[in-house]
A and B are shown apart, each in its own frame.
Chain A
Amino acid sequence: AQTIHQWPVAEIKAVGSPLSLGCTIKGKSSPNLYWYWQATGGTLQQLFYSITVGQVESVVQLNLSASRPKDDQFILSTEKLLLSHSGFYLCAWSDITEVFFGKGTRLTVV
């Protein structure tokens, strides 16, 4: 069975500090990978997607970047956090049909 693991579970970071969030998928070869963002009390918005190692497409510009260094790993990062980056970040995978989400990382920027 496929498992998706996100880290960290939660972060409190200062404005202007760097950020790195990670996601690992096990049990699935060459999945499509996604990053989604959810503001508190809001809906989910896709940020990035990747269909293969080294290839990442940006969907929404939020001063964030993503990378896929390995087939099973997806990283979300920024060098300088903004207050508006606060929220819930979810990694997801699909096999071109149904999309499955990780448990998310709750980010608070202060």
Chain B
Amino acid sequence: GDKVKQSPSALSLQEGTNSALRCNFSIAATTVQWFLQNPRGSLINLFYLVPGTKENGRLKSAFDSKESYSTLHIRDAQLEDSGTYFCAAETTGGNNKLTFGQGTVLSVIP
């Protein structure tokens, strides 16, 4: 099965509302990264997490290595937040190999 399972697979949000994306890991993740892929395909780094929580503007992310999950909270969604959100886990063993989830396609509507 999927080593990194993202949910939901797609989400439509009214502008100004809040939501949360989630990743569950069936591998022993040591760090997690969250990315936003824009329509052109570029991956924008959102968060790099060791176990714990980080916040940046309207985004907040948490990583719990014991319970094997990570979340990304979006507050006051804006049109420019639209795109595909990926989480990626790194495991011990090195080389920074990232195992990606399948992505959440987010559409923010006016």
Residues of A within 8 A of B (CB): 32, 34, 38, 42-46, 49, 51, 57, 59, 88, 90, 94, 96-101, 103-104, 106
- 15 CB contacts below 8 A, A to B, read A43-B86, A43-B101, A43-B102, A43-B103, A59-B97, A88-B41, A90-B41, A94-B96, A97-B31, A98-B33, A98-B45, A99-B98, A101-B43, A103-B41, A103-B42
Within 8 A of A (CB), among B70-110: 86, 88, 95-98, 100-103
Is the Cβ of A46 less than 8 Å from the Cβ of B97?
A: yes
Question: With an 8 A cutoff between CB atoms, is B40 at the interface?
Answer: yes
Q: Which residues of B contact A90 (CB under 8 A)?
A: 41, 43
Is the Cβ of B42 less than 8 Å from the Cβ of A98?
A: no
**A45-B100, A97-B48 are known contacts; what are 6 more A-B pairs with Cβ within 8 Å?**
A44-B98, A98-B45, A99-B33, A101-B42, A103-B40, A103-B41
Is the Cβ of B41 less than 8 Å from the Cβ of A49?
A: no
Q: Would you give the shortest CB distance from A91 to chain B, in whole angstroms? A: 11
Given the known interface contacts A46-B98, A49-B97, A99-B33, the answer about A106 and B41 at a Cβ–Cβ threshold of 8 Å is: yes
Within 8 A of A (CB), among B1-56: 31, 33, 35, 40-43, 45, 48
Given the known interface contacts A43-B86, A44-B86, A99-B96, the answer about A104 and B48 at a Cβ–Cβ threshold of 8 Å is: no
Q: Which residues of B contact A42 (CB under 8 A)?
A: 102
Residues of B within 8 A of A (CB): 31, 33, 35, 40-43, 45, 48, 86, 88, 95-98, 100-103
Q: Which residues of B contact A34 (CB under 8 A)?
A: 96
Bound state CA distance, A57 and B100, in angstroms? 19
Is the Cβ of A32 less than 8 Å from the Cβ of B97?
A: no
Bound state CA distance, A43 and B35, in angstroms? 12
Kindly list the 8 A-B residue pairs having the minimum CB-CB distance in the complex, ordered from nearest. A98-B48, A101-B43, A44-B100, A43-B100, A94-B96, A104-B41, A43-B102, A49-B95
Q: Would you give the shortest CB distance from A19 to chain B, in whole angstroms? A: 18
Bound state CA distance, A88 and B43, in angstroms? 12
Given the known interface contacts A43-B101, A43-B103, A44-B86, the answer about A100 and B45 at a Cβ–Cβ threshold of 8 Å is: yes
